[in-house]
Structure 1
Amino acid sequence: MIRAACLSLDITPDQPIDLSGGPFGKSRGVLDPLEAYILLLEIEGEFFCWVTVDTIYLPSSWTDPLREKIAGLLSTGRANTMISATHTHSGAAFMPLRQWGSPDMGHTDWVSRRILDGVRDLQDRLQPVRGNFGSAQADGVTVNRREPGGPVDEEVSVLTLHNNNGQPIAMMVHFTCHPVTLWGFENKFSPDFPGYLRTALRQVSGGIPVFFVNGAAGNTNPAGFSPESTSVEYSKDIARRVCSAARQAMLNSQPLNLSPLVTAEERETLLLDPPPSVETIHRIIEEADSHLNGDWSPESVGWARKKEWAMDLLAAIETGELADRESLEIQSVRLGDLRILALPGDPYVEIGLKMKEISPSPHTLIAGFTNGMVGYLCTRKWQEENGEQEKFIGYRLLSMPKETEKIVYRMTERLVERMRHETV
Structure 2
Amino acid sequence: MMRAHLVSRWLLAVAVGLCACSTSRAALRAGCAKVDITPPLGLKLIGSQGQPSDSVLDELYARALVLSDGANTVAIVSVDLLYSPLEEITNPVRTLVAERVGIPEQNVMVCATHTHSGPDIFTNAKLAPASRIAPEDIDQAYVRTLIGKLASVVQIAHRDMQDAKIGVATGTLPEVAYNRRPKRPNGQVQTTFTLPAEITATRRVETRSDGRTIVTFSMPPEQADLTFGPIDPAVSVLRVEDPNGRIVGSLFAFGCHPVSVYPFRSTAISADYPAHAMRVVERTEGGVSLFALGLAGNVVPIRRDVGPCEQIGKALGAEALRRLQLVATADDVTLDARRCALTLATKDTPPQEITTEIQVLRLGDVYILGLPGEILVEVGLAIKDKAGIDKLFVTSMTNDSIGYVCHAEAYTEAGYESTRGTHLAPGAGERLIAGALDLLDAIKP
Q: Same fold by TM-score, threshold 0.5 exceeded?
A: yes
Match of 2:150 in 1: 115
Aligned to 1:263: 337
1:51 is matched with 77
Distance 2:138 2:271 in 1: 17
Deviation at 1:199, TM superposition (A): 0.9
Distance 1:39 1:274, change over 3 A: same
Match of 1:272 in 2: 346
2:240 is equivalent to residue 213 of structure 1 = no
Question: What is the Cα deviation at residue 22 of structure 1?
Answer: 5.6
Q: Corresponding residue for 2:36?
A: 10
CA apart distance, 1:257:
6.2
Higher Rg: 2
Where 1:140 maps in the other structure, the secondary structure is helix
Question: Partners of 2:355 and 2:309 in 1: how far apart?
Answer: 35
Task: Please report how far the alpha carbon of residue 75 of structure 1 lies from its aligned counterpart in structure 2 after TM superposition.
Answer: 2.5
* Aligned position for 1:312: none
Q: Name the residue aligned to 2:433.
A: 409
Cα pair 1:18 1:93 within 8 Å, conserved: yes
Offset at residue 236 of structure 1 (A): 0.8
Contact preservation (8 Å) 2:84, 2:397: yes
1:377 aligns with 2:405: yes
1:201 offset after TM fit, Å? 1.2
User: Among 342, 345, 359, which residue is 1:331 paired with?
Assistant: 359
Matched, 1:20 2:46: yes
CA distance in 2 between counterparts of 1:15 and 1:22 reads: 12
- What SS is found at the alignment partner of 2:435? helix
Q: 1:55–1:383: structure 2 CA closer, same or farther, 3 Å change rule? A: same
| Residue-by-residue CA offset, 1:147-199 (whole Å, 9 max, x unaligned) | 35211011112211111222111111211110011003431100000001111
Contact 2:164 2:331 in 1 (8 A): no
How far, CA to CA, are the matches of 1:378 and 1:47 in structure 2? 33
Question: Does 1:171 pair with 2:250?
Answer: yes
From the superposition, tell whether residues 121 and 243 of structure 1 become closer, same or farther in structure 2 (CA, over 3 Å).
closer
Deviations 1:31-57 (A, max 9, x none): 110111111111233110111111111
2:269 counterpart SS class = coil
The aligned runs of 1:240-255 (5 Å cut-off) are 240-255=314-329
CA distance in 2, matches of 1:256, 1:137: 24
Alignment CA distance shift 1:378-1:251 (3 Å): same
Cα RMSD for the two superposed structures: 2.1
Runs of 5+ consecutive residues of structure 1 not aligned to the other structure: 277-322, 393-398
Answer yes or no: is 1:197 the counterpart of 2:281. Answer: no
Sequence identity percentage: 27
Judged with a 3 Å threshold, the aligned counterparts in structure 2 of structure 1 residues 403 and 70 are, in CA distance, closer, same or farther, namely same
User: In structure 1, how many angstroms separate the alpha carbons of the residues matched to 2:372 and 2:98?
Assistant: 19
Shift, 1:200, TM fit: 1.1
Q: Could you say if the C-alpha distance between residues 24 and 254 of structure 1 is closer, same or farther in structure 2, counting changes exceeding 3 Å?
A: farther
Q: Residues 416 and 345 (structure 1 numbering): CA distance in 2 closer, same or farther, change over 3 Å? A: same
CA distance in structure 1 between the aligned counterparts of 2:427 and 2:367, rounded to whole angstroms: 25
Distance in 2 (alpha carbons) for counterparts of 1:55 and 1:416: 27
Q: TM-score, normalised by structure 2?
A: 0.77
Question: How far off its partner does 1:361 sit?
Answer: 2.9
Change (3 A) 1:174 1:49: same
1:286 alignment partner in structure 2: none
SS in 2 for 1:73: helix
In the alignment, structure 1 residue 356 sits paired with structure 2 residue 384: yes
What secondary structure does 2:55 align onto? coil
Q: How does 1:413-424 map to 2 (within 5 A)?
A: 413-421=437-445
Q: Work out the CA distance in 2 between the residues paired with 1:155 and 1:174.
A: 8
Match of 1:240, SS state, is: helix
SS at match of 1:204: helix
The equivalences for 1:212-231 within 5 A come to 212-225=291-304, 230-231=305-306
**1:386 counterpart residue number:** 414
* SS class of match (2:279): helix
TM-score normalised per structure 1:
0.81
- 1:204-257 C-alpha deviation (Å, 9 max, x unpaired): 113x211111112111101134xxxx12x1111111221232233224422256
Q: Distance in 1 between matches of 2:348 and 2:46?
A: 28
Unaligned 5+ segments in structure 2 are 1-26, 125-129, 183-226
Give the 3-state SS of the residue equivalent to 2:425 in structure 1: coil
How far did residue 99 of structure 1 move? 7.2
Q: Contact 1:218–1:346 at 8 Å: present in 2 too? A: yes
| Secondary structure in 1 matching 2:175 | coil
* CA displacement at 1:416 relative to structure 2: 2.3
Paired amino acid for 1:391: G
Match for residue 149 of structure 1 among 228, 237, 248: 228
**Offset at 1:24?**
5.3
CA distance in 1, matches of 2:181, 2:253: 22
Secondary structure of the residue aligned to 1:341 is: strand
Partner Cα distance (1:195, 1:151) in 2: 25
SS in 1 for 2:355: strand
Q: Distance in 2 between matches of 1:368 and 1:344?
A: 6
- Alignment partner of 2:56: what SS? coil
Residue 66 of structure 1: how far off its partner (Å): 1.5
What residue number does 1:75 align with?
102
- Looking at structure 1, the residues matched to 47 and 39 of structure 2 have their Cα atoms a distance apart, in angstroms, of 16
Deviations 1:248-281 (A, max 9, x none): 32244222567211211122322222339xxxxx
Q: CA deviation at 1:16?
A: 1.1
Structure 2 distance, partners of 1:160, 1:29, is 34
In structure 2, the CA distance between the partners of 1:360 and 1:68, relative to structure 1 (3 Å rule), is farther
* Contact 2:345-2:428 at 8 Å conserved across structures: no
SS of equivalent to 2:285: coil
Moved over 6 A (4+): none
| Cα distance in structure 2, aligned partners of 1:104 and 1:60 | 18
CA contact (8 A) 2:28 2:331 kept: no
Describe the shift of the 1:52–1:94 C-alpha distance in structure 2 as closer, same or farther (beyond 3 A).
Answer: farther
Report the equivalent of 1:313: none
Q: CA deviation at 1:351?
A: 1.2
- Paired with 1:383 and 1:66, the residues of 2 have a C-alpha distance of 35
Correspondence 1:275-286 to 2 at 5 A: 275=349
